[in-house]
Amino acid sequence: MRPAPLPTPYGFRVAPDLGAPSRARRRILTVVRRWGVPLSERALRDIELMSSEVITNAIVHTGATCTVVLRWTGQRLRVEVTDTSPESPMVNRSDADEEHGRGMLLVEALASCWGSRPVAAGKEVWFEVATDRRATGQGRLSSLVRVGTLSARTTATPPPGGRRRRVLVLARDTEHLPLHLLRPR
């Protein structure tokens, strides 16, 4: 029996307005579900979050329309966002008190792989989610706690003359919280 043909990559433009990232992430999930990509609901929520982060960055940092392309390889879903800025995205390991700057940390933690490359129009930022990499429970939580820890530059004891840093824990899966990691020493 011959394997089913892979779907043709799907692309669309996203206008630079406040509601655009929300509409774009819903459109992405609609296409992925229509393709029948074998990903869990949790993986789909992660794709929704990462798409929103990358698309929002493209719009906020350029003020211009960006392009989104989805590709299904049979093993990985790839989301590509092209914008007009030549600047590569930075993984900001910022202070926990800052309101912005952790989006690419989330992408780094949740994606199977991600990156960016220059293109004629500016740059393309992409991420992939593999069907065989379904981080769940402790494994997924460890990735998210690592994001919070890197983001907060957490220390077990306050620096001399300093204050104790907060740990930012990003988890939807609260029954698996490793409380021993969150208690002060």
pLDDT by residue, tens only, the chain of 185 residues: 766 788 999 999 999 998 999 999 999 999 999 999 999 999 999 999 999 999 999 999 999 999 999 999 999 999 999 999 999 887 766 555 555 557 888 899 999 999 999 999 999 999 999 986 444 544 545 555 544 444 444 334 444 455 444 444 444 444 444 444 444 44
Q: State residue 138's pLDDT score.
A: 46
Cβ neighbours of 58 (radius 10 Å): 30
Q: Which residues contact 129 (CB under 8 A, 6 or more apart)?
A: 39, 43, 46, 47, 76, 77, 110, 111, 112
Q: At what angle do helices 20-35 and 41-62 cross, to 10 degrees?
A: 140
Please write the tens of the pLDDT for every residue from 66-81.
999 999 999 999 999 9
Q: State residue 48's pLDDT score.
A: 96
Q: State residue 70's pLDDT score.
A: 98
Domains along the sequence of the chain with CATH: 10-130 (3.30.565.10), 137-182 (no CATH)
Please write the tens of the pLDDT for every residue from 103-114.
888 899 999 999
Tokens coding 165: 């840093």
pTM over 0.75: no
Q: At what angle do helices 103-110 and 137-152 cross, to 10 degrees?
A: 150
Please write the tens of the pLDDT for every residue from 11-25.
999 999 989 999 999
